[in-house]
Amino acid sequence: MPRTERWGRPYPDNRDWSIYNALLVKRGEFYLSLDFIDRWDEHLSQMNAGKRGRPFQYPESFIAWMAGIHTFLQMPYRQMEGFVRRLAAFIPGLKAADYTTLFRRIQRLDLSLPVVPELLGEDIIVAADSTGIKVTNRGEWMREKWRVRRGWIKLHVMIDVETNQALGLEITDESVQDDQMFIPLLDQTQQHGSEEHPVYRVLADGAYDRNELFNTLEQRRIASGIKTRVDAATHSTGSPYRAECVRDRNRWGGYPMWSRVVTYGMRWKAEGFFSGFKRIFGEGVQATSQEGMFREIRMKVNCYNRMLALAGGQAS
């Protein structure tokens, strides 16, 4: 089979590896970032101000830290109680919580996507994509022999190609198509970007080649980096902006030049996000209910975003 010539430009790796190595080492500080201990009493007083009923005994920052330990180390709740009890014996100011308290408080945590706006550029270029998360470790033989099929979960994200932060996050089952989550992802991304960091361009593959998505981009004055079909119409068939993008692609001589103009190659940052995410957290989930699976994945993405922010947005 003849080898197909690569028309895309190779990615120039210009990063300073000494700085990059230091940033990767710094990520290890995430596991034992105990800054919340210094503001333990302050956080508790704020949480209990005007509260009726039993007051909180543990600040939200401590619960969020324990949720990170649970997520990264996949530590069961009873073991977490023993872990923090032993850790409290060495660290003044740290108070141990029982496993039932940890479980209930972690289940009530705010799981909105954490984003550091200070790391974002003036004009944001984002990449949209999705990946599958396994819901069982059953192998191919089990599925074939016993006709067991539980499907998978889809993780939809929009990634800032400069900082690698996830700016939009949606979790669905396998029946939901990628393009159906595009507008909700874009809404979240624009909320995180605000007027100071507007979204300039969206990069996406052919799964997002839909008229309504091009119309949405045109209405919001966002440039398209969506890959259109080879035989796409050059006249309006429901989206004048899509037809304009197709004419531009043809005028530039096809996909190779089009990809350079719109920096379509940077869409690989979404693939890099998924690769780093799965290397750290694995390709499956431990929860058994769908709601628990969705919460588990959201907690993992939140922790990964915080880790990227701690390391200055460098990819793993």
Q: Which of 89, 107, 125 is the last residue of a domain?
A: 107
* Coil/strand/helix, residue 167: strand
Domain count, the chain: 2
Determine, yes or no, domain membership for 300: no
**Per-residue pLDDT, 1:** 44
Percent of the chain with pLDDT over 70: 90
DSSP 39-52: GHHHHHHHHHTT--
Task: Report the pLDDT value the prediction gives residue 18, as an integer from 0 to 100.
Answer: 85
Residues 238 and 150 in one domain: yes
Nearest partner of 224 among 243, 252, 250, judged by Cα: 243
Indicate if 96 and 162 belong to the same structural domain: no
Q: Are residues 195 and 272 in the same domain?
A: yes
Token pair for 118: 């200070």
In a domain, 306, yes or no: no
Residue 3 inside a domain? The answer is: no
Residues 48 and 99 in one domain: yes
Asked if residue 157 and residue 37 are part of one domain, the reply reads: no
Say whether pLDDT at 137 is over 70: no
Same-domain check for residues 132 and 242: yes
Mean pLDDT for the stretch of residues 192-214: 90
Answer whether residue 226 is part of any domain.
yes
Looking at the domain assignment, is residue 216 inside a domain? yes
Of all helices (H) and strands (E), which one includes residue 132?
strand 124-134
pLDDT, tens digit, for every residue of 151-186? 789 999 999 998 899 999 999 988 899 999 999 999
Contact 44, 56 (CB under 8 A): yes
For residues 67-83, average pLDDT: 91
For residue 277, the domain's CATH number is: 3.30.420
Residue 194 burial by Cβ neighbours in a 10 Å radius (0-12, 13-18, 19+): exposed
Which residues constitute the domain of residue 82?
A: 17-107
Interatomic CA distance for residues 128 and 140, integer angstroms: 30
Q: State which of 87, 107, 127 marks the end of a domain.
A: 107
Q: Within this chain, do residues 90 and 124 fall inside the same structural domain, yes or no?
A: no
**CB-CB contact of 200 with 221 (8 Å):** no
Same domain assignment for residues 136 and 256 = yes
The model's pLDDT over 208-262, given as tens digits with 9 standing for 90+, comes to: 999 999 999 999 999 999 999 988 888 888 899 999 999 999 999 889 999 999 9
Within this chain, do residues 149 and 235 fall inside the same structural domain, yes or no? yes
- Is the same domain home to 103 and 153? no
Average pLDDT of every residue of the chain: 87
Collect all residues with Cβ–Cβ distance below 8 Å to 313 and sequence separation of at least 6: 116, 119, 160, 162, 163, 164, 165
Residue 269 domain-assigned (yes or no)? yes
Over residues 267-294, the mean pLDDT reads: 90
Residue 64 to residues 100, 105, 299, 303, Cα–Cα distance (Å)? 15, 9, 10, 10
Tell me whether residue 99 is in a domain: yes
Q: Is residue 249 domain-shared with residue 229, that is, in the same domain?
A: yes
176 and 250 share one domain:
yes
Domain end among 74, 107, 140: 107
- Give 33-54 pLDDT, tens digit per residue: 788 888 898 889 988 888 888 8
- The DSSP output letter for 314 is -
Per-residue confidence (pLDDT) for residue 192, from 0 to 100? 87
